[in-house]
């Protein structure tokens, strides 16, 4: 994939994503993690998962998408690989037995810290479901950057423990991507981290800023400088045809016409299920993700989905949650937000108020993008001579 | 016949031989997905308790389904090859890129 | 900013709208709003030329309170038990009190509010019949909508149609009575909503302000601030109370709907998004108004009123919401990606009659 191209999501984003929060435990204590209360107690059991699956598969009217992504998350999902294995077996069996259309179009998706990837139980699961698996390992970049945030409880970095599983992972999932995160402290390491990931063989790097408000004055300038250094590196080493980094997109930094009023985030269109079988519009609305607000429940696997609670998410648009400065912004396109984070920070208990503290960071990214595309077009122009 | 999703996966011993319509792509994609689903369901059943395996109706249904799916799958390639006049030799295989609808011959 | 105030005179004050007051039926001595607080509120209202709706409980007020209230432009919202004490008040009735409707004096110029619960729906049309002659304008409010089922909505529709037919007859005979859920939509050209928190604010006996009494009775902690005569109360995210920030309502023409923000919050957890039940009920009423207007077309003044257009949906959410996924590949794919023959074939399979028509 060349620079600037967006990774096409499976089924072009039309699949229903159903997320099982199988555990709230994790071996790591990442500095930027939105989970504020990791624990070993809250673990999903098979009965809850089965009830949820039965409800979902037997209510086709409510879940009428042509495809499904069964997503497993935690905490660290691979801590519960035996449960997940049992759940996936049940899902496959039920989809087949019910002659559900999803049997012909499903995926199992994982976002993992990678520590248990090489474990025998995990490998057995992968082998059994290989053709339907999407497995993403989170690595933040260089050892220095990764170990500054992704740490064990005793403060040790996890880079070595994670990367020892890399060769196996990349062999099993060629073309797989990683999920890298950048926070305030590790901004100065951004460029080297992207390059490092490329050098590891991950040509397609999805890297994002944390969505929480961790930014301090001056961060935008550091961010811009790092992206420009990365831009120079890409052009100097002619990586623009073969490597990709999600920071550089052709489509960002344009004004958005007021008629284009869709919401950025898919919360409400997906479904997250916690260990008790409670339904949420996405994982960022569950109790352990909230610092200021009550969790936002939209039903449970026993009583079903409360469509009235889902309703606001399906009518939420850009104009009714964004302040005027955003609606009139000349470089608005590509400015992202997290609905759960917005809700947690809003003045009232509403999803209709957008947090705007990422404004300076977005504009920094836009400036860096302009620099890159301008320089690249000059370079390509010279190449064509 | 192996099917892969993306072009440029590091395998460069293949040549472009044609393109199918999106509707035709959807047909083979559905068969491909079903074939994979049946195969992996069989893996799960193989590990399952005896009670499930003892349900011979279910197991037989799966086997029959797999046979039918593979037959349709093969038929699709045969039909397309006839229409487009594709040929392949021993050890060669046709591949389709589901994103672009392009068909390749892998040597 | 605010046009009027709602003042709850005691904790057990009558519910005059969609919300319920769990303290209304409480026994024991009433706990009135402190007199000094009431004095400040009345003085404020006079100074700012604000109208005041006073919400009474079952207990007659002490004389000092009554004298104070009479010094400001106001309306009294009173339960049936106080109709003798305050004959000029707006009577708030529960349909369950139908056995006592006969005690209501005939009065062709009065406003009456009738609150109707789920179990009262079956008798709605006959309850309204019982009240004939006692009102000029009847405001019907459904209570407990959050518990309504599809069957309740169907029952409501039947009752509203029956009421519509009788009202239509009354209009043909020259009658001038109004029933909010049937009359209003015929007359309105734009939204006429409750506008709680926008046009009016509620002050409770505890001295706190609320968007409406429903919020107070549900949870005293849901205050928008302590009432202060020196400082205007600013409600956080007040824009969400306005029509412009209501994604469904801003595109709806059920103009008579109250857009009850209390029910919105209760049922969808968002103050600017109504529940399906609210929308369907409002559109049931809208349709009844539409039918009635159609049949009154040859009578003045109904001949002057613009027609209400027919709709194919009962819930405007269906035309406003963003699609969830799309299982229709025809619509999901870009046209440039489709083979022309495939495109036509898929259209034909979706609409076989097209070719016949062609």
Could you tell me which CATH number the domain at C4-187 has? 3.80.30
Question: For chain C, what percent of residues have pLDDT higher than 90?
Answer: 82
List CB contacts (< 8 A) between B58 and chain A.
97
pLDDT at B9: 41
Contact A311 C332 (CB under 8 A): no
Inter-helix orientation angle B22-47/B56-84, to 10°: 150
Element (H, E) at C228: none
Average confidence (pLDDT) over C130-151: 96
Calculate the alpha carbon distances from C118 to C94, C122, C152, C206, C274 in Å.
12, 8, 7, 31, 19
d(CA A351, CA A314): 11
pLDDT at C353: 47
Band (C300; pLDDT cuts 50, 70, 90): confident
Is A316 at the interface with chain C, CB within 8 A? yes
ipTM of the complex: 0.93
Residue A155 resides in a domain: no
pLDDT at C238: 96
Is A287 at the interface with chain C, CB within 8 A? no
Q: Return the closest-CA partner of residue C34 out of C207, C274, C269.
A: C207
pLDDT at C5: 97
Is A260 at the interface with chain C, CB within 8 A? no
Question: For chain A, what percent of residues have pLDDT higher than 90?
Answer: 84
Band (B12; pLDDT cuts 50, 70, 90): low
Report the residue of chain B nearest C340, measured CA to CA: B21
Average confidence (pLDDT) over A84-106: 96
The two three-digit tokens of residue A123, written as one number: 């490998």
pLDDT at C331: 39
Is B41 at the interface with chain A, CB within 8 A? yes
Band (A34; pLDDT cuts 50, 70, 90): confident
Average confidence (pLDDT) over A227-242: 95
Contact A92 B9 (CB under 8 A): no
State the CB neighbour count (10 A cutoff) for residue C86: 19
d(CA A93, CA A127): 17
Contact A8 B30 (CB under 8 A): no
Residue A299 resides in a domain: yes
d(CA A147, CA A128): 33
Contact C332 A316 (CB under 8 A): no
Is A60 at the interface with chain C, CB within 8 A? no
Average confidence (pLDDT) over C138-146: 97
Based on the structure, what is the number of domains in chain A? 1
pLDDT tens-digit map of A123-156: 999 999 999 999 999 999 999 999 999 999 999 9
Q: How many helices (H) and strands (E) in chain C?
A: 12, 10
- Closest Cα in chain B, distance from residue A69 (Å): 14
pLDDT tens-digit map of A179-224: 889 999 999 999 999 999 999 999 889 888 988 889 999 999 999 9
Place of tokens 């790591």: A28
pLDDT at A258: 86
User: How many A×B Cβ pairs under 8 Å?
Assistant: 46
Closest Cβ–Cβ partner in C271, C277, C327 for A350: C271
What b/e readout covers C293-332, taking b as 16+ CB neighbours within 10 angstroms? beebeeeeebeeeeebeebeebbbbeebbbebbbeebeeb
Band (C267; pLDDT cuts 50, 70, 90): very high
Is B23 at the interface with chain C, CB within 8 A? yes
Report the residue of chain C nearest B22, measured CA to CA: C338
Domain extents in chain B: 23-106
Residue A292 resides in a domain: yes
Report the residue of chain A nearest B36, measured CA to CA: A131
Is A14 at the interface with chain C, CB within 8 A? yes
Is B79 at the interface with chain A, CB within 8 A? no
- Phi and psi angles of residue B86, each rounded to the nearest 5 degrees, phi first: -85, 145
Question: For chain C, what percent of residues have pLDDT higher than 70?
Answer: 90
Q: Which domain holds residue A317?
A: 271-354
Q: Is the pLDDT of residue C8 over 70?
A: yes
Residue A334 resides in a domain: yes
Q: Is the pLDDT of residue A292 over 70?
A: yes
- Of the residues A128, A172, A174, A201, the best mutation for testing chain B's interface (the one with the most B CB atoms within 10 Å of its CB) is A128
Band (B6; pLDDT cuts 50, 70, 90): very low
| pTM for the full predicted model | 0.91
Strands B14-19 and B102-106: antiparallel
pLDDT tens-digit map of A239-273: 999 999 999 998 999 999 988 898 988 899 999 99
State the CB neighbour count (10 A cutoff) for residue C244: 12
Direct distance between the N- and C-terminal alpha carbons of chain B, in angstroms, rounded to an integer:
12
pLDDT at B10: 44
Band (C337; pLDDT cuts 50, 70, 90): very low
Quote the DSSP letter at residue C49: T
List CB contacts (< 8 A) between B26 and chain C.
329
Band (C227; pLDDT cuts 50, 70, 90): very high
Q: Is A102 helix (H, G, I), strand (E, B) or coil?
A: helix
Residue A317 resides in a domain: yes
Lowest mean pLDDT among A335-339, C276-280, C283-287: A335-339
Report the residue of chain B nearest A174, measured CA to CA: B9
Average confidence (pLDDT) over C314-334: 61
Q: Is the pLDDT of residue C302 over 50?
A: yes
pLDDT at A36: 76
Average confidence (pLDDT) over A163-168: 94
pLDDT tens-digit map of A266-285: 899 999 999 999 999 999 99
pLDDT tens-digit map of A79-90: 999 999 999 999
Contact C247 A316 (CB under 8 A): yes
List CB contacts (< 8 A) between B98 and chain C.
none
Contact B44 A88 (CB under 8 A): yes
Which carries the bigger pLDDT value, residue C342 or residue A301? Answer: A301
Rg of chain A taking only CA atoms, in angstroms: 21
Q: Is the pLDDT of residue C54 over 60?
A: yes
- Identify whether the C-beta of residue C125 lies closer than 8 Å to the C-beta of residue C100: no
Quote the DSSP letter at residue A373: H
d(CA C292, CA C289): 5
Average confidence (pLDDT) over A101-125: 96
d(CA A57, CA A91): 9
Contact C237 A15 (CB under 8 A): no
Closest Cβ–Cβ partner in B9, B30, B48 for A104: B30
pLDDT at B13: 84
pLDDT at A37: 77
- Of the residues A67, A121, A131, A176, the best mutation for testing chain B's interface (the one with the most B CB atoms within 10 Å of its CB) is A131
Lowest mean pLDDT among A81-85, A88-92, B54-58, C238-242: B54-58
Calculate the alpha carbon distances from A187 to A192, A194, A226 in Å.
10, 12, 8
The DSSP-derived string for A180-192 is EEE-STTGGGHHH
List CB contacts (< 8 A) between B30 and chain A.
104-105
- Closest Cα in chain B, distance from residue C333 (Å): 9
> Long-range CB contacts (< 8 A, 24+ apart) of C146-154?
C146/C263, C146/C266, C146/C267, C146/C275, C146/C277, C147/C118, C148/C118, C148/C277, C148/C281, C152/C118, C152/C121, C153/C277, C153/C280, C153/C281, C153/C284
pLDDT at C344: 62
Residue A196 resides in a domain: no
- Identify whether the C-beta of residue C188 lies closer than 8 Å to the C-beta of residue C238: no
- Closest Cα in chain C, distance from residue B23 (Å): 7
pLDDT at A264: 87
pLDDT at B60: 86
Touching A (3+ Cβ pairs <8 A), the chains are B, C
pLDDT at C231: 85
């Amino acid at each position: 994939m060349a620079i600037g191209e967006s990774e096409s999501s499976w089924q072009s984003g039309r699949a229903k994503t159903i997320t099982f929060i199988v555990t709230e435990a994790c071996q790591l204590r990442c500095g930027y993690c939105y989970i504020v209360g990791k624990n070993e107690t809250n673990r999903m059991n098979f009965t809850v998962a089965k009830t949820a699956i039965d409800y979902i598969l037997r209510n086709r009217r409510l879940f009428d998408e042509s495809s499904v992504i069964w997503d497993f998350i935690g905490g660290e999902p691979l801590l519960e690989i035996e449960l997940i294995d049992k759940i996936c077996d049940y899902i496959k069996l039920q989809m087949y037995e019910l002659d559900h259309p999803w049997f012909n179009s499903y995926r199992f998706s994982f976002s993992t810290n990678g520590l248990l990837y090489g474990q025998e139980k995990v490998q057995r699961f992968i082998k059994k479901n290989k053709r339907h698996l999407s497995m993403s390992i989170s690595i933040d970049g260089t050892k220095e950057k990764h170990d500054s945030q992704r740490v064990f409880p005793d403060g040790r970095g996890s880079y070595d423990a994670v990367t020892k599983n890399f060769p196996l992972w990349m062999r099993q999932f060629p073309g797989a991507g990683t999920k890298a995160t950048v926070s305030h402290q590790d901004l100065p390491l951004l460029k080297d981290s992207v390059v490092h990931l490329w050098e590891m063989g991950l040509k397609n790097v999805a890297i994002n800023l944390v969505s929480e408000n961790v930014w301090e004055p001056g961060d935008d300038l550091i961010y811009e400088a790092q992206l420009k250094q990365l831009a120079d590196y890409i052009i100097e080493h002619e990586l623009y045809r073969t490597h990709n980094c999600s920071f550089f997109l052709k489509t960002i930094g344009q004004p958005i016409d007021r008629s284009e009023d869709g919401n950025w985030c898919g919360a409400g269109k997906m479904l997250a299920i916690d260990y008790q079988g409670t339904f949420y519009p996405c994982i960022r609305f569950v109790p352990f993700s909230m610092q200021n607000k009550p969790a936002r429940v939209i039903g449970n696997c026993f009583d079903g989905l409360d469509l009235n609670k889902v309703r606001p998410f399906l009518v939420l648009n850009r104009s009714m949650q964004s302040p005027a400065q955003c609606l009139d912004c000349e470089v608005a396109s590509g400015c992202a937000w997290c609905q759960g984070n917005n809700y947690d920070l809003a003045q009232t208990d509403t999803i209709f108020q957008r947090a705007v503290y990422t404004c300076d960071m977005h504009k920094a990214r836009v400036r860096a993008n302009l620099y890159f595309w301008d320089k690249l077009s000059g370079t390509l122009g010279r190449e064509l001579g | 016949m192996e099917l892969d999703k993306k072009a440029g996966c590091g395998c460069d011993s293949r040549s472009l031989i044609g393109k199918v319509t999106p509707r035709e792509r959807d047909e083979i994609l559905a068969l491909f997905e079903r074939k994979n689903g049946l195969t992996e369901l069989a893996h799960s059943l193989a590990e399952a308790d005896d009670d499930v395996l003892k349900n011979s109706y279910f197991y037989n249904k799966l086997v029959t389904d797999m046979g039918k799916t593979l037959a349709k799958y093969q038929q699709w390639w045969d039909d397309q090859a006839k229409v487009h006049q594709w040929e392949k030799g021993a050890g060669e295989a046709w591949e389709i890129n589901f994103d672009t609808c392009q068909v390749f011959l892998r040597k | 900013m605010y046009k009027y105030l709602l003042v709850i005179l005691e904790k057990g004050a009558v519910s005059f709208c969609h919300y319920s007051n769990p303290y209304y039926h409480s026994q024991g001595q009433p706990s009135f709003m402190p007199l000094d607080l009431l004095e400040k509120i009345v003085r404020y209202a006079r100074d700012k030329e604000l109208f005041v709706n006073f919400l009474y409980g079952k207990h007659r007020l002490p004389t000092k309170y009554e004298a104070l209230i009479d010094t400001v432009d106001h309306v009294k919202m009173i339960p049936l038990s106080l109709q003798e004490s305050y004959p000029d008040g707006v009577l708030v009735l529960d349909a369950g009190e139908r056995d006592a409707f006969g005690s209501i004096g005939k009065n062709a110029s009065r406003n009456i509010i009738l609150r109707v619960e789920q179990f009262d729906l079956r008798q709605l049309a006959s309850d309204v019949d019982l009240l004939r002659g006692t009102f000029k304008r009847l405001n019907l409010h459904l209570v407990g909508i959050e518990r309504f089922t599809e069957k309740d909505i169907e029952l409501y529709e039947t009752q509203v149609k029956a009421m519509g037919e009788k009202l239509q007859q009354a209009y043909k005979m020259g009658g001038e009575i109004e029933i909010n859920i049937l009359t209003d939509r015929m007359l309105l050209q734009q939204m006429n909503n409750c506008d709680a928190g926008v046009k009016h604010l509620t002050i409770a006996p505890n001295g706190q302000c609320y968007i409406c009494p429903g919020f107070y009775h549900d949870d005293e902690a849901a205050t928008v601030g302590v009432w202060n005569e020196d400082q205007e109360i600013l409600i956080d995210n007040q824009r969400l109370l306005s029509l412009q920030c209501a994604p469904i309502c801003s595109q709806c023409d059920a103009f008579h709907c109250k857009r009850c923000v209390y029910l919105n919050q209760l049922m969808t957890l968002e103050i600017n998004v109504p529940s399906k039940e609210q929308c369907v009920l409002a559109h049931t009423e809208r349709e009844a108004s539409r039918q009635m207007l159609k049949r009154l077309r040859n009578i003045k003044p109904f001949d002057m009123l613009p027609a209400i257009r027919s709709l194919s949906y009962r819930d405007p959410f269906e035309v406003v919401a963003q699609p969830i996924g799309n299982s229709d590949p025809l619509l999901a794919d870009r046209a440039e990606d489709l083979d022309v023959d495939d495109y036509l074939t898929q259209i034909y399979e979706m609409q076989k009659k097209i070719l016949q028509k062609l």
